[in-house]
Amino acid sequence: MLCAEKLQRLVMAGVLLVATYLMSIGSIYGTILLGFVIAMIVVWAITDFCPSIWLFAKLFGACKSNR
């Protein structure tokens, strides 16, 4: 079963794949998309708040920790 953190990582990998493809064909949208992902990771690192994990946790539930 997918939980919020795993789903967020899968979505981020997909977005980075699309950004890489767009950049490889010379589209400026790939660079913009990559910049957006980087900005969201920096926000997450500084504030310890990730909007996509928050949304996915509301929709799918948080991952259970085994610790």
pLDDT digits (tens, 9 = 90+) for 7-23: 999 999 999 999 999 99
- What pTM was computed for the model? 0.80
Question: Does 65 have pLDDT greater than 80?
Answer: no
Under 8 Å between Cβ of 56 and 4? yes
Other Cβ atoms within 10 Å of 14 Cβ, number: 10
pLDDT at 64: 80
Q: What type of residue is 30? A: G
Domain boundaries, the chain: 7-59
Q: What type of residue is 21? A: Y
Q: What is the 3-state secondary structure (H, E, C) of 1-49?
A: CCCHHHHHHHHHHHHHHHHHHHHHCCCHHHHHHHHHHHHHHHHHHHHCC
